[in-house]
Amino acid sequence: MHKNILETARDAGAFTTLLAAIEGAGLESTLAGEGPFTVFAPNDAAFATLPAGAVEALLAEPTKLAKVLTYHVVPGRVSAAQVLHMSSAPTVNGEQLALCADDEIEIDGAHMLSADIEAANGLIHVIDRVLMPSAA
């Protein structure tokens, strides 16, 4: 059996900042739960592109951090093949992600680097930047 989303991300080794943020926002039990969820997961390099102090500022505000993180999560299991035929997707935080698939898949302007990483409770798609909801 596959590991859950958190275990899968931890094993990948490229999501230490994301995992710290999930812990800081108190979302571990949700993302380790039954799901299914689709996570558009910024890797550590994506977090490194944020302005200096941005990650620390978010970690200092768990409520705002939770809004940002839940903007990266779509209820259900949405494969890259399905994303190709969608123009938007509802997120757990209630906002819509803009999806575009011309030459490559884009999620709110972020590029999908790797897709359909299986977890017991959903899928992970790796993206190259941190998404910011309008309400954050």
Q: What is the mean pLDDT of residues 109-129?
A: 96
1 falls in which pLDDT band (50, 70, 90)? low
Identify the residue whose tokens are 């200096």: 52
Q: Is the model's pLDDT at 86 over the cut of 80?
A: yes
Confidence tier at 83 by pLDDT (50, 70, 90): very high
| pLDDT for 135 | 63
The whole domain housing 35 covers 5-101+119-127
Is residue 62 in a domain? yes
Looking at residue 104, what is its pLDDT? 87
* E-only strand ranges, 54-133: 73-75, 88-90, 96-101, 105-107, 110-119, 122-127
For the chain, the average pLDDT equals 94
pTM: predicted TM-score of the whole model, two decimal places: 0.95
- Please check whether residue 92 is in contact with residue 78, taking contact to mean a CB–CB distance below 8 angstroms: no
- 136 confidence band (pLDDT: 50, 70, 90): low
Residue 106, in any domain of the structure: no
Residue 89 falls within a domain, yes or no? yes
Work out how many domains the chain is built from and give that number: 1
